[in-house]
Structure 1
Amino acid sequence: MSSPHFRKARWRRSSLAAFAGAFLFIGAGQVCAHDFWIEPSSFRPLPGSIVSVGLRVGENFIGDPVRRQASLLKRFVIIQAGEEQPIAGSDNIDPAGLFEADGHETALVVYGGGGSQIEMPAQRFDEYLVQNGLGDIVAERIRRGEQDRVGRERFYRNAKAILGGEIGSELVTRPVGLRYEIVPLADPTRVEAVLDLRLLIDGEPLAGAQIEAIARDRPAARIVMRSDAKGEVRMHLPQAGVWLIRSVHMRRAGWFSDVDWESDWASLTFEMLGD
């Protein structure tokens, strides 16, 4: 069993050429879609401590608070010590909620948001699609003669945050039923730089999806890869610290919808230890 302070991971800088799948480092000057993530007051809370849960939207790990809105909350819970409990909070408040940390083993904060509608000018919408690796949607718009049409989209936010504890837990490797979900195949608070992930849309593996990793202390450099035929990806994270993993999936809306597209934004935040 690990000590209360964890065994320290031995970090090694792997050659980027050895990464499985394609990767890119994207500079801050490129077009960035807004990210959405969970930012707790501590990623490694002490047992019995009160954790405040902030919801953030922004770019390059610099975000504005998203105030709690009951009308958009489909699910907002803490899963710890084998139990799932709602995270308490009041509307129009930041942080969005508070809970008491068990702190003994790895815990999971889960957020599932209802749909919100946005519209973007055609060029900006296409830039957003390209930035998120949604070239198939760009191609479909061209094929249908929609390339000059305003992008009408309803998006859903699906976010998780992993909180380290005195020991690890397999609970963070299990799907929790979000519409779009990033699932680690091992507890990321315990691994040594190599992180295996699976992408699930409606509970099924999603192949060919773009997924990005962003370090909080080096946000302008993003590791970008695509999931394999099993919806999986292996990421070599070159440094310790807080990470944001994100992905966007989009599909055409139904015939009677008031938008053209529906998208799901998935994110996962956690802290990896170094020497």
Structure 2
Amino acid sequence: MVFLMVGPLAAHEFWLEAEDYIMDAGAVNVELRVGQDFGGSEYPFVQQRFKAFTTSVDGKTKQYRGRAGDRPAYQDSQPGEGLQVISYESQPDTLAFTKSKPDLFAKYLMAEGLDFVLEKHRADGMPEVGISEIYSRNAKTLVQVGEGGFDHATGLPFELVVQGTPYDGDESVKVQLLWQGEAMGNYPINVFTKENSVEQTRVFTNGSGMAVVVFPKGSRVLLNSVWIERLPEGSKHFYESWWASMTFGY
């Protein structure tokens, strides 16, 4: 498995951050976060901002019903026992690449490990300013309540899936990257680990869409990957992208 150090991100991350990731019992509270290096702004519960907000325990999935303005956005006072697989699919939003920041497009793609997209874009003689991208967030978090349970695909368009659970005591996990349910081979995943400070690395999936993520025991982990597609000529936006993220921790 190849590991590369990555620099500061041009684009902000979006993730689900649990108050506690492991508990014997009690309420599960999860924030919606946008920022960098595990720091940033908290977003409230707003129904209009997402397509789906679900929790799955032992294979049983239910839609989360919050209240407008709730902070944290996810609050479950009586979770079932087992691994809580909480997922969030946002409504689409737009990212514009303007003349005021002419290097933003290139920085964004390189920060996400999408150098090959940038190379093809330039080889085709396409502009890097005056274009826009429509994007959606596909976020998950794993919270252990009591014993048992495992991660699984939840139906997000672009999704990270831990094989089993990250809470078995090991300092590594196997993760599979899926696009529309199909394994994505030879694709980048950014890894952020937070202990005393935040470390950034990158892994690449193998031919089966699998990657091994190593993390210090006691840390919090954020994974992210971006899938991007060129839209047909004449479309309002140049690209469409889906931003997958996954969090777990101790």
The alignment's TM-score, normalised by the length of structure 1, stands at 0.83
Give 1:213-224 correspondences, 5 Å limit: 213-218=191-196, 220-224=198-202
Q: 2:120 aligns with which of 119, 140, 156?
A: 140
Verify the 8 A CA contact 1:88 1:99 in the aligned structure 2.
no
Cross-structure match for 2:95: 118
Task: Select the residue among 56, 63, 68 that pairs with 2:33.
Answer: 56
Partner in structure 2 of residue 250 of structure 1 = 228
1:225 is aligned, of 203, 211, 236, to: 203
Match of 1:265 among 230, 237, 243: 243
Picking from 144, 154, 157, the partner of 1:164 is: 144
2:240 aligned counterpart, secondary structure: strand
Cα distance, 1:185–1:191 mapped onto 2, change above 3 Å: farther
1:178 maps to what in 2? 156
Superposition pairs for residues 1-275 of structure 1, below 5 Å?
20=1, 22-26=2-6, 30-47=8-25, 49-102=26-79, 104-121=81-98, 122-170=102-150, 172=151, 174-218=152-196, 220-272=198-250
Alpha-carbon distance between aligned partners in 2 of 1:191 and 1:223, rounded to the nearest angstrom: 21
Tell me, in whole angstroms, the C-alpha distance in 2 between the residues paired with 1:184 and 1:175. 9
SS at match of 1:164: strand
Superposition deviation, residue 81 in structure 1: 4.6
Q: Deviations over 1:200-236 (max 9, x none)?
A: 0111111222112211225542121111111111122
Q: Structure 1 pair 227/143, CA: closer, same or farther in 2 (3 Å)?
A: same
Structure 2 Cα separation of the partners of residues 160 and 61 of structure 1: 15
Shift of 1:40: 2.1
* Cα distance change, pair 147–110 in 1 and its aligned pair in 2 (3 A): same
Number of aligned residues: 247
Gaps of 5+ in 1: 1-19
RMSD, matched Cα: 1.9
Q: Distance in 2 between matches of 1:105 and 1:88?
A: 20
Inter-partner Cα distance in structure 2 for 1:77 and 1:41? 18
* Larger strand percent: 2
Deviation at 1:191, TM superposition (A): 4.4
* Counterpart residue type for residue 245 of structure 1: L
For 1:180, the aligned partner's letter is: F
Counterpart CA distance in 2 for 1:99 and 1:256 is 45
1:33: how far off? Answer: 2.1
TM-score by length of 2: 0.90
Q: Is the 8 A contact 1:243 1:271 kept in 2?
A: yes
Q: CA deviation at 1:100?
A: 2.8
Q: CA deviation at 1:239?
A: 3.2
Paired amino acid for 2:19: S
* Partner SS, residue 119 of structure 2: helix
Contact 2:51 2:89 in 1 (8 A): yes
Q: 1:124 to 1:219 in 2, by over 3 A?
A: farther
